[in-house]
């Protein structure tokens, strides 16, 4: 039997991923939401911290509590649920940003040291994850322990991307527009390495995942910051709101798409058993 271009066996790898994986398939929509969530994380953190005036400490506690609640819902869900998953991604992007901001602005840790610190933490996370699970692929996030490693790695990618992005765009002083072009170019190199030179898919995924953080942050700053600071002056409120609307629309689309896939797999499995 053939379904949507792939063969059905008593449970193909593709069908198993659709039914059991706790994270979405890596598609163009996945990457678009990831970049937008990253941008929202950057602008939302600035909005809460500076525009509303909550300050870094209070903002960090509030968003961390929201993230903890979202993670409880994510782990309680039996399988991937679009709304819950992307809520966690948006919130974890804000917390990752705030981790670096607290180290830089409160503790006085230089950006190069934060970049090195989060690089080590991410490498250690990957090392323990691989030692326990023998894979770093996000296509097989079937159990709670593997998912826990996944979210820890995601948090450190956001913190690392924030530190590295700020180090380059602000510490080196190349500006938001040049920073956007730089990180987009680096992601392009990863894409070429994967699809032209067939570099390892897992390595390319995580490299791109880290790089989309400073790309999104550069885009967010470019759009929201004042022209005198090198931005377009749209403000954090308008930028965050516009991107959240797009995130909700795309996340809804992905949720409907996955639901259709699951129904198709259920029907195919039922036909095979009958």
pLDDT tens digits, 97-142 = 899 989 999 999 999 999 999 999 999 999 999 999 999 988 889 8
- Does the pLDDT value for residue 9 go beyond 50? no
Work out the average pLDDT over 243-253. 89
Greater confidence (181 vs 43) lies with 181
- Note the pTM of the prediction, 2 decimals: 0.85
Identify whether 12 is part of a domain: no
Specify the pLDDT at position 15.
Answer: 60
Q: Is residue 271 part of a domain?
A: no
Range name among 6-15, 74-83, 238-247 with the lowest pLDDT average: 6-15
pLDDT-derived band of residue 255, with 50, 70 and 90 as boundaries?
Answer: confident
Q: What is the pLDDT of residues 195-240, one digit of tens each?
A: 999 999 999 999 999 999 888 878 888 888 888 877 888 887 788 7
- The overall average pLDDT reported for the chain is 85
- What confidence score (pLDDT) does residue 18 get? 61
Give the SS3 label for residue 196.
coil
5: confidence class by pLDDT, cuts 50, 70, 90: very low
Residue 7, classified by CB atoms within 10 Å of its CB into exposed (0-12), middle (13-18) or buried (19+), is exposed
Burial class (CB in 10 A: 0-12, 13-18, 19+), 6: exposed
Residue 17 predicted with pLDDT over 70:
no
The number of distinct structural domains making up the chain is 1
Q: Is residue 226 part of a domain?
A: yes
pLDDT of residue 7: 41
For residue 165, tell me if it sits in a domain.
yes
Query: By residue range, what is the domain housing residue 43?
Result: 26-262
Separation between Cα atoms, residue 71 and residue 45, nearest integer Å: 19
pLDDT at residue 160 above 70?
yes
178 occurs within a structural domain: yes
Buried-exposed string 48-62: b where 16+ CB fall within 10 A, e elsewhere: bbeeeebebeebbee
In a domain, 16, yes or no: no
8 domain-assigned: no
Q: Is residue 2 part of a domain?
A: no
42 compared with 63, residue with greater pLDDT: 63
Give the pLDDT of residue 4. Answer: 40
Rounded-to-integer distance, Cα 78 and Cα 162, Å: 32
Give the H or E element holding residue 223.
helix 201-224
Query: What's the pLDDT band for 3 if we cut at 50, 70, 90?
Result: very low
Cα(255)–Cα(30) distance, rounded to whole angstroms?
11
Model confidence at 13, pLDDT cuts 50, 70, 90, reads low
Residue 270: band (very low, low, confident or very high) from pLDDT cuts 50, 70, 90: low
């Amino acid at each position: 039997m053939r379904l949507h271009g792939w063969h059905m066996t008593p449970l193909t790898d593709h069908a198993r991923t659709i039914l059991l994986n706790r994270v979405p398939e890596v598609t163009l929509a996945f990457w678009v939401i990831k970049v937008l969530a990253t941008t929202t994380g950057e602008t939302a953190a600035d909005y809460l911290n500076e525009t509303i005036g909550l300050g870094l400490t209070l903002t960090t506690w509030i968003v961390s509590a929201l993230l903890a609640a979202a993670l409880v819902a994510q782990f309680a869900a039996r399988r991937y649920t679009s709304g819950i998953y992307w809520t966690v991604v948006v919130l974890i992007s804000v917390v990752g940003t705030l981790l670096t901001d607290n180290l830089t602005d409160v503790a006085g840790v230089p950006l190069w040291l934060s970049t090195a610190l989060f690089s080590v933490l991410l490498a250690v996370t990957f090392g323990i994850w691989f030692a326990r699970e023998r894979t770093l692929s996000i296509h097989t996030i079937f159990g709670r322990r593997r998912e826990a490693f996944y979210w820890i790695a995601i948090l450190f990618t956001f913190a690392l991307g924030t530190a590295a992005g700020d180090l380059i765009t602000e510490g080196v002083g190349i500006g938001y527009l040049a920073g956007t072009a730089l990180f987009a170019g680096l992601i392009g190199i990863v894409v070429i390495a994967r699809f032209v030179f067939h570099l390892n898919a897992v390595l390319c995924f995580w490299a791109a995942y880290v790089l989309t953080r400073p790309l999104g942050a550069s885009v967010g700053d470019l759009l929201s910051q004042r022209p005198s600071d090198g931005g377009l002056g749209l403000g954090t409120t308008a930028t965050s709101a516009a991107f959240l609307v797009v995130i909700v629309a795309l996340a809804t689309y992905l949720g409907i798409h996955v639901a259709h896939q699951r129904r198709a797999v259920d029907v195919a499995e039922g036909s095979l058993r009958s």
